[in-house]
Chain A
Amino acid sequence: MIDKKAIRVALVGRPNTGKSSLFNRLTGLRQKVGNYPGVTMEKTMGLSKWAPGVLAEIIDLPGIYSLHASSVDEQVVMDSLLNDDVGEKIDVVIGLADGTNLKTCLFVFTQIIDLGIPAVLAITMTDQMERRGMELQVSDLSESLGVPISLINARSGQGIDQLRADVLKATSSSKGPFFQPGGLHLQWVNQVDQDHDFNSVYKSWLYGLSSTVYSDLINNTGRTPARVRADEAIKRYRVVNDWLRQFFHTDPGKDRRWTARLDKWIVNPIWGSVILFGLLFIIFQALFYGSETPMNFIDDQFAHLSNFLSGILPSSFLSHLITNGIIPGISGVLIFIPQIALLFGFIALLEESGYMARVVFIMDRFMRPFGLSGKSVVPMVSGTACAIPAIMSTRNMENSRERWLAIAVTPLITCAARLPVYALLISLVIPDQSFFGMSLRGLVLFGLYLIGFVTALLGSALLTKIMPTAKVNPFLLEMPSYRLPQLKNVAHAILNRTKSFVSEAGKIILAISVVLWFFASFGPGKAPDFNQDYVAIPIEDSYVGKMGKAIEPVMKPLGFDWKVSIAVLSSFVAREVFVGTMATLYSVDDNEKSSIREQMAKQKNPVTGEPYFNLAVGVSLLLFYAFAMQCMSTYAVVARETRSHKFAAIQFLILGILAYGAAFLAYSALA
Chain B
Amino acid sequence: MYLSDLKVGQKAIVLQASISLPVKLYEMGCMPGEEIELNYAAPFSGPMCFLVQGTSISMRKELAELVPITDPNIKSLQNDR
Query: Measuring CB to CB, which residues of chain A are less than 8 angstroms from any residue of chain B?
Result: 65-66, 68, 70, 100-104, 107, 224, 226-227, 229-230, 233-234, 237, 255-256, 259-260, 263, 267, 269, 357, 360-362, 364-365, 368, 474-480
- A66-B27 contact, Cβ under 8 Å, with A269-B43, A478-B57: yes
Give residues 2-21 of B contacting A (CB, 8 Å): 20-21
Give residues 39-64 of B contacting A (CB, 8 Å): 39-40, 42-47, 49, 51, 53-60, 63
Give the 6 A-B CB pairs with smallest separation, nearest first. Answer: A365-B46, A479-B56, A66-B27, A233-B26, A474-B22, A477-B58
Pairwise interchain contact A267-B44, C-beta atoms closer than 8 A: no
Pairwise interchain contact B49-A362, C-beta atoms closer than 8 A: no
Pairwise interchain contact B58-A66, C-beta atoms closer than 8 A: no
Q: Which residues of A are found within 8 Å of B42, using beta-carbon distances?
A: 267, 269, 361-362, 364-365
Q: Using CB atoms, name the residue of chain B closest to A102.
A: B54
Say yes or no: is B81 at the interface (Cβ < 8 Å to chain A). Answer: no
CB distance from B70 to the nearest CB of A (A): 18
Can you name 5 A-B pairs with beta carbons within 8 Å?
A101-B55, A104-B29, A230-B31, A260-B39, A365-B47
- A65-B27 contact, Cβ under 8 Å, with A479-B56, A479-B57: yes
Q: Which of A104, A224, A227, A256 is in CB contact (< 8 Å) with B28?
A: A104
With A475-B47, A478-B55 known, 4 other A-B pairs at CB within 8 A are A70-B27, A269-B42, A476-B24, A479-B39
Pairwise interchain contact B29-A361, C-beta atoms closer than 8 A: no
Q: Which residues of A are found within 8 Å of B28, using beta-carbon distances?
A: 65, 104, 476, 478
- A68-B23 contact, Cβ under 8 Å, with A103-B53, A237-B29, A361-B47: yes
Say yes or no: is B32 at the interface (Cβ < 8 Å to chain A). Answer: yes
Q: Which residues of B are found within 8 Å of A368, using beta-carbon distances?
A: 60
Q: Using CB atoms, name the residue of chain A closest to B44.
A: A365
Pairwise interchain contact A364-B63, C-beta atoms closer than 8 A: no
A496 to B39, CA, bound (A): 36
A474 to B30, CA, bound (A): 14
CB distance from A362 to the nearest CB of B (A): 6
A255 to B58, CA, bound (A): 19
A226 to B21, CA, bound (A): 8
A100 to B56, CA, bound (A): 12
CB distance from B20 to the nearest CB of A (A): 5
Q: Which of B20, B27, B40 is in CB contact (< 8 Å) with A68?
A: B27
Q: Which residues of B are found within 8 Å of A66, using beta-carbon distances?
A: 23-24, 27
A412 to B63, CA, bound (A): 32
Pairwise interchain contact A107-B29, C-beta atoms closer than 8 A: yes
Q: Using CB atoms, name the residue of chain B closest to A364.
A: B47
Pairwise interchain contact B43-A475, C-beta atoms closer than 8 A: no
CB distance from A245 to the nearest CB of B (A): 13
Q: Which residues of A are found within 8 Å of B51, using beta-carbon distances?
A: 256
A230 to B57, CA, bound (A): 17
A269 to B29, CA, bound (A): 27
Pairwise interchain contact B58-A357, C-beta atoms closer than 8 A: yes
CB distance from A71 to the nearest CB of B (A): 8
Pairwise interchain contact B59-A477, C-beta atoms closer than 8 A: yes
A151 to B22, CA, bound (A): 33
Q: Using CB atoms, name the residue of chain A closest to B45.
A: A365
Q: Which residues of A are found within 8 Å of B22, using beta-carbon distances?
A: 70, 226, 474, 476
CB distance from A128 to the nearest CB of B (A): 13
CB distance from A100 to the nearest CB of B (A): 8
Q: Which residues of A are found within 8 Å of B44, using beta-carbon distances?
A: 365
Pairwise interchain contact B23-A364, C-beta atoms closer than 8 A: no
Q: Which residues of A are found within 8 Å of B27, using beta-carbon distances?
A: 65-66, 68, 70, 107, 229, 233
Pairwise interchain contact B49-A474, C-beta atoms closer than 8 A: no
Pairwise interchain contact A361-B24, C-beta atoms closer than 8 A: no
Pairwise interchain contact A103-B54, C-beta atoms closer than 8 A: yes
Q: Which residues of B are found within 8 Å of A227, using beta-carbon distances?
A: 20
> Of residues A100, A227, A255, A267, which shows the largest number of chain B Cβ atoms within 10 Å of its Cβ?
A267
A473 to B78, CA, bound (A): 37
A476 to B21, CA, bound (A): 12
CB distance from B80 to the nearest CB of A (A): 19
Q: Which of B32, B53, B58 is in CB contact (< 8 Å) with A361?
A: B58
Q: Which residues of A are found within 8 Å of B60, using beta-carbon distances?
A: 364, 368, 474-475
Q: Which of A101, A103, A226, A362 is in CB contact (< 8 Å) with B23?
A: A226
Pairwise interchain contact A230-B23, C-beta atoms closer than 8 A: yes
Pairwise interchain contact A267-B49, C-beta atoms closer than 8 A: yes
A361 to B51, CA, bound (A): 15
Pairwise interchain contact B43-A70, C-beta atoms closer than 8 A: no
Q: Which residues of B are found within 8 Å of A68, using beta-carbon distances?
A: 23, 27
Pairwise interchain contact B26-A474, C-beta atoms closer than 8 A: no
CB distance from B24 to the nearest CB of A (A): 5
Pairwise interchain contact A474-B32, C-beta atoms closer than 8 A: no
- A477-B31 contact, Cβ under 8 Å, with A68-B23, A263-B40, A365-B47: no
